[in-house]
Amino acid sequence: MNLFLSLFKLLPPELAHKAALISLNILYKLKILNLLFPKFKDQEYEFLGMKLKNKLGTAAGLDKDGDFIDCLGALGFGFLEVGTVTPKPQNGNPKPRVFRLFDEQAVVNRLGFNNKGVDHLVKKLKSKKFMGIVGVNIGANKNSKDQKRIDDYIECFRKVYKYSDYITVNISSPNTPGLRDLHDLDNIKNLILNIENEAKLNNFNRPIFLKVSPDESAETIKSIADLINLSNLTGLIISNTTIDKEILHNKKNIDIDGGLSGAPLMKKSTEILKAISNHNPELPIIGVGGVMCKSDFNEKINSGASLVQIYTGFIINGPKIVSEILN
């Protein structure tokens, strides 16, 4: 598998990502996927009424359209998060828009919510064979503004809730203009109220998370956490990518536009996680950002995360990272 991983690294980033997932899917359909990756014992864990095999999951972005739920689930993840999905299909930003920084164990992306649309994802959720926990990450189309942006979240919520074990509301991608403005307290109050009303209307009583940016101050995130406590929403996912490139060692990369993920994000993301957990120890938090190995996973848990997600660690190190973390 190391040979295949090396070959994928020679391909352009987006092509490599798609080729790797298609390869995993072929191995899954041939029923040989589990012969190639070490098996490990389940570490059963119950969280907010969800029964998981373990605390490790995929972050949104790894499987935007739900095309690879079954093969990813077969690798042993405790849960999967698909999306970010928007009401209408969209191509995202112009290419090139993904940059792998192997010397930093990092990725910069400015994809811009490229996806096949919520209706495609719903079809995939209906047809999946994976019986584990699957959450859906919802967003807004690029051209939607103001209340129309809120309406986009509601449309996605309305279409996916029947097929979701939990829902994540993504307000933190740096690649959709103005999206992070939803961290403003007046804007977030409006969004929370609309999501809350839609959940009540559909008797949706499963978890709902907000995914927040690591570039907001801890005080802003604490205020959002306080609003969640006063609502029927559940908790936070901390965090999305950062636009802060000063944390990179190789300064020639600081001018690449987009969100930075991977090892350089670990410290910044985890510091916010810890601050919010200390501020509100009862708030359910999923930790994500910079998890590249077992010690990173443990640090997220020890800092207050109940569950942990990976994305860039999977891209850089390949599927073996699952067993390396969970063994």
Report the catalytic residues. 173
- Whole-angstrom CA distances from 120 to 65, 80, 130, 153 are 7, 17, 17, 16
Q: Longest Cα pair distance anywhere in the chain, in angstroms?
A: 52
Asked if residue 273 lies in contact with residue 303, where contact means CB atoms within 8 angstroms, the answer is yes
Token pair for residue 74? 């077969």
Output the DSSP codes for 230-299: TSS--EEEE---B--GGG-SSGGGTT--SEEEEGGGHHHHHHHHHHHHHH-TTS-EEEES---SHHHHHH
Residues 175 and 311: their CA atoms lie apart, in Å, by 17
Sheet holding 106-109, edge to edge: 98-101, 106-109, 259-262
Q: Is 32 exposed, middle or buried (0-12, 13-18, 19+ CB in 10 A)?
A: exposed
H or E element at residue 16: helix 13-29
